[in-house]
Structure 1
Amino acid sequence: MKINLRKKKLTTGKYSLYIDYYKGKIIDQDGKSKNNREFEYLKEYLYIDPQTPSEKKENQETILRAEQILSIRRAEYAQGKYGIKDRSKNKLLFLTYYDKLKEERYESKGNYDNWDAAQNHIEDYCKKRNITFEDIDEEFVLGFKKHLNKTARTKSSTPLSQNSKYTYYNKFKAALRNAFDDGYTCRNFATTVKGFAQGETSREYLTHEELQELATARCKHQVLKNAFLFSCLTGLRWSDINKLNWAEVRDEDEGSRLIFTQKKTKGQEYQYLSDQARNLLGKRKSGNDRVFQGLKYGAHFNAEILRWCMRAGITKHITFHSARHTHAVLLLENGADIYTVSKVLGHKEIRTTQVYAKIVDKKKKEAAYLIPELHMNYEF
């Protein structure tokens, strides 16, 4: 059998790379000779005519990945045909293998995002080191755990949360398990080092009274105030509010609604707006204009949220994402069922939403003890 790397020209201005497995000639039902071929499309693409240095570099990296996959396929064939140990596997770069596993999960949007986020920290840990499977040992695995615990930072330069460390390390271990199953390592290093414990999720939110105080308090940036309150009233994430444009806002006879694609899940969403939520958007502009122009993510705006809360007499540690939690809790407290809240928030699984139901149950329990104790004689 011949195994070769091929490319196919696409209308997008790129080549699609695939592996051609040529298995010789066969005779069809009509007695005619024809080629017996199978194809494996790699989901790797090349610029047909790269113009910029970055496009040329991307082409070089793509070709390298494709050729490494080709080497794997040829080695796998030789291993099966001759019954020999494939010694080329431990020469493959770990990051190349991880990237391949990540791309296989592309259709699973949420899981893909977690693999992609974990890859950033794995690359940071492996930078300036061409780690192959031959280099992987228990010390390497333990080192990445220490990296997440001590060195790794978020985009805001803060240490990773317990659940982020838990998630990223689990993706790292999943890649190691796959590597062992595929014959790239002689040991399952995913079992050699204990992972992180999953942290109890803390979801800070505002009560209706606190939200009212915040609505009347002064905020230095009006666009930040409007966007935050809009999130409280709709449950939209910061990423979706930030990219929201006027083409996604539909003002109709029966009211206003949003039709947009969630940035995190890539799912199409339809969101009805109350009158007060619509009023926070202001006057309509042209379709491609951002609704909340001037809204930025960064330490300055995050700090202003805390200062705004202090002016309103709120001492909780509130972030922009707390607005989403606030929306969920207020819906449940005012009679919305868990299924509806799950749909409003765009959750794929209802168990994600059930965390908010626990918060509401806790509030009900606290309410049972709000009435001062009566002095009475209990007679039966």
Structure 2
Amino acid sequence: MKIGSYLNRKGDKRIYYYDYGRGPGKRPAVGVFTYTKPKGQIQKNHNIQALDLIEVKKSQAIIEQQSIGTAYIPPHKFKANFLEYYLDYVEVNKREGNRALANSYIQFKEFIGCDFISPVDITENVCKRFRQYLLDKYTGETPQGYYARFKWVLNSATSDKYFQVNPTTKVFAKANPSTVLKGNLEIEEYLALLGTPCLNEEVKDAFIFCCYTGLRWVDVDRLYDGIDIKNGVLTTRIIQKKTGEPVTLTLHPIAQGIVRKQRKKRANSPGNNRLFQIPGRNGCNKELDKWVNAAGIQKHITWSCARLSFSILLQDQNVDDATVAYLLGHTTTKQVRKTYIRHRPKNQTETINKLPSPDINKYFLQLPEEEGEE
């Protein structure tokens, strides 16, 4: 192993590099420099320590080369703090619009409650407790998704010889199905809301707009007055925050009317170009709850129910799953078939009555009488 060096442009520092040859990328920097004419004792001490460090790095590079093709992993290749390994993995493997991997790191760091954890401290029991931590904190597929990413990191670390046996091997990812089914609005309930005054007119218009477009609260909160509508199509590409996917919306006449109404309002309040002037998510849900009760709807309706209702009513009209998924901003039909579906019948009596109905009186006359009956 050779260590080369060169002077910087000013000539006051010598820069060191590994010399693996003359090809591209074969002279990587060592990351150390020395002063050519040290001024004072501090710079002289720097040079002494820098040269010692160069020798250490040279020795490490030689060991790395000699260990190629063997099962030996030089100790200096390991990170003492597993959080550093985790973060490096996130940086290398993160993808635009997919926050699950980065969030899994945040959740694990919150779980351990400190900035350092050694790989030796990550045991099967720690993995079980982390999984339970996620299940206690989140519902749905979120804990399963975060823990699955955690397993990715542990699988990689095991391949890199941080563990002889992967501590997550027997600790599988689990979902946490919600015990509360979301309510959805039926057609007559849509009409009831449209005909019922709401204390906050902006909340009413924004929620109805979501009911007719399938947008989430976070999507409609970020809509601006400058959106373009041509032939009933919202041409501005909305990037939904959760999925990261664009949505091109063909607007129902009700939704188009709401946009026109909101634009007139904004024209009278220059400088504020948000299409809907709504409060935060919790504030919106509080106003929504009062409005739903005033409309006589005996259901627990939150803002997310608008998206569910949009999907269910389209499916009730036999719109195919692929089209519904596209309108919701999903790239596959998986979530439509699993989440955005009707969980309970609209009318149980009507559903049951669809079963075959023979002549009831004639049928019961044919039944034998039970003993004791007169």
Q: Structure 1 length normalisation: TM-score?
A: 0.69
| Letter in structure 2 aligned against 1:209 | E
Contact residue 328 and residue 356 of structure 1 kept, 8 A:
no
Q: Which residue of 1 aligns with 2:327?
A: 344
How far did residue 347 of structure 1 move? 0.7
Q: In the alignment, is the contact (CA less than 8 A) between 2:82 and 2:117 conserved in 1?
A: yes
Among 183, 186, 199, the residue aligned to 1:204 = 183
CA distance 1:134–1:76, shift in 2 (3 Å): farther
2:315 to 329, 332, 357: 332
Displacement after TM superposition at 1:175 (Å): 1.7
Q: Cα 1:138–1:222, aligned 2, differ >3 Å: closer, same or farther? A: same
Cross-structure match for 1:88 = 76
Residue 327 of structure 1 deviates from its aligned partner by 0.5
Cα distance, 1:192 vs structure 2: 3.7
Q: Is the 8 A contact 2:245 2:330 kept in 1?
A: no
Output the CA distance in 2 between the equivalents of 1:162 and 1:194.
16
Partner in structure 1 of residue 108 of structure 2: 122
Instruction: Tell me what 2:258 maps to.
Output: 280
Q: How far did 1:90 drift?
A: 4.7
Give the 3 Å change call, closer, same or farther, for CA 268–357 of structure 1 in structure 2: closer
Q: Evaluate the alpha carbon distance shift between residue 313 and residue 103 of structure 1 in structure 2; reply closer, same or farther with a 3 A threshold.
A: farther
- Pick one of 20, 24, 27 that aligns with 2:21: 24
2:305 corresponding residue in structure 1:
322
CA contact (8 A) 1:23 1:36 kept: no
CA distance in 1, matches of 2:311, 2:182: 11
Task: Describe the shift of the 1:21–1:145 C-alpha distance in structure 2 as closer, same or farther (beyond 3 A).
Answer: farther
1:29-69 CA-partner distances (Å, limit 9, x unpaired): xxxxxx332799xxxxxxxxxxxxxxxxxxxxxxxxxxxxx
RMSD: 3.7
Q: SS at the partner of 1:190?
A: coil
Aligned to 1:297: 281
Q: Check whether the contact 1:243–1:290 (CA below 8 A) recurs between aligned residues.
A: yes
- In structure 1, C-alpha distance between the alignment counterparts of 2:146 and 2:293, rounded to whole Å: 34
**Does 2:214 correspond to 1:235?**
yes
Distance 2:316 2:2 in 1: 65
Distance in 1, Cα, partners of 2:154 & 2:139: 23
Partner in structure 2 of residue 309 of structure 1: 292
The answer to whether the 8 A contact 2:193-2:292 is kept is: yes
SS at match of 2:20: strand
Give 2:159's match in structure 1, choosing from 181, 198, 218: 181
* 2:234 equivalent among 257, 265, 268: 257
SS of 1:264's equivalent in the other structure is coil
Whole-angstrom distance in 2 between the partners of 1:302 and 1:215: 17
Structure-to-structure mapping, 1:351-370, within 5 angstroms: 351-355=334-338, 359=342, 367-370=350-353
Q: 1:211 to 1:303 in 2, by over 3 A?
A: same
Q: Which amino acid aligns with 2:307?
A: R
Note if contact 1:89-1:183 (Cα within 8 Å) is conserved in structure 2. no
Match among 195, 213, 224 for residue 203 of structure 2: 224
Q: Which shows bigger deviation, 130-139 or 223-232?
A: 130-139
Q: Which amino acid in the other structure matches residue 165 of structure 2?
A: R
CA gap of 1:118–1:218, structure 2 versus 1, over 3 A, is: farther
Aligned residue in 2 for 1:62: none
1:142 is matched with 128
Q: Structure 1 pair 229/36, CA: closer, same or farther in 2 (3 Å)?
A: same
Indicate the residue corresponding to 2:7 in structure 1.
none
Offset, 1:296: 1.6
Letter in 2 for 1:242: D
> Higher Cα Rg: structure 1 or 2?
2
Deviation digits for residues 255-311 of structure 1 (CA, Å, limit 9, x no counterpart): 34142222233333311112210222324357982111233223x332332232222
Q: In structure 2, how many angstroms separate the alpha carbons of the residues matched to 1:38 and 1:289? A: 55
* Maintained 8 Å contact 1:332/1:357: no
- Contact 2:221–2:278 (CA<8 Å) still a contact in 1? no
**SS of residue paired to 1:290:** coil
Deviation, 1:194, is 4.3
Counterpart of 2:21 in structure 1: which amino acid?
G
Which has more strand, going by share of residues? Answer: 1
Q: Which runs of 5+ in 2 are unaligned?
A: 5-16, 29-56, 366-374
Match of residue 56 from structure 1: none
How far apart are the structure 2 equivalents of 1:363 and 1:104?
Answer: 48
Q: How much does 1:203 deviate?
A: 4.4
Q: Is the 8 A contact 1:332 1:360 kept in 2?
A: no
| Cα distance change, pair 187–235 in 1 and its aligned pair in 2 (3 A) | same
Structure 1 residues without counterparts, runs of 5 or longer: 5-19, 26-34, 41-69, 153-159
Aligned residues: 312
Alignment match, 2:362:
377
* Contact in 2 for aligned 1:258/1:273 (Cα 8 Å): no
The one-letter code sitting in structure 2 at the alignment partner of 1:142 is: K
In the aligned structure 2, how far is the partner of 1:230 from the partner of 1:269? 15
